[in-house]
Amino acid sequence: MYSKIIVGLSLDHGISETAIGVARKLADDGAEIIAVHVYEQPNSSVRAYMDDDLLEGAQKNAKARLEDRVKGEEGVKAVLLNGHSGRAITDYAKKVGADCIVVGSHKPELSDFLLGSTAARVVRHASCAVHVLR
């Protein structure tokens, strides 16, 4: 069905196995599956109190956790992105020519209706098909 699938992963939630499994079911033979996690830098007010070594260490830790999360998942490439989650995922999908994004969602809260969750932002702004998992 799809030849290049982006799987958005949060390192704090355990949906990765399910999301990768769904991506495999949606994939054509030989499809490329790319597991992405978006590392969001602390805002400037917080960042002013953090040294560069600490920030670099946090980003390296996120990369290691992502690689650990996809370890053993044959044919799945791990990519760490930087920026705002919703925008970084949709921009990356467009850049690499993905034809599907698989992203998890949580039960919406009031703030999600006002601000929009990552999944909602991906659905609104993606230039390809999006499969949302609960």
- Determine the Cα–Cα distance for residues 56 and 48; give it in Å rounded to an integer: 14
Of 53 and 32, the structure prediction assigns the larger pLDDT to 32
Structure tokens at 130: 């999006």
Q: Please identify which residue in the block is written with the tokens 């830098």.
A: 41
Q: Is 50 exceeded by the pLDDT of residue 26?
A: yes
H or E element at residue 61? helix 52-70
pLDDT confidence tier of residue 108, bands split at 50, 70 and 90: low
User: What domains are defined for the chain?
Assistant: 2-133 (3.40.50.620)
Percent pLDDT > 90 in the chain is 65
Q: Of 5-9, 42-46, 63-67, 126-130, where does mean pLDDT reach its minimum?
A: 42-46
- Which of the residue ranges 5-14, 52-61, 96-105 has the most confident prediction, judged by mean pLDDT? 96-105
- Which of the residue ranges 8-12, 23-27, 37-41 has the most confident prediction, judged by mean pLDDT? 23-27
pLDDT at 119: 87
Structure tokens at 92: 């990356």
* Cβ atoms of 8 and 100 closer than 8 Å: no
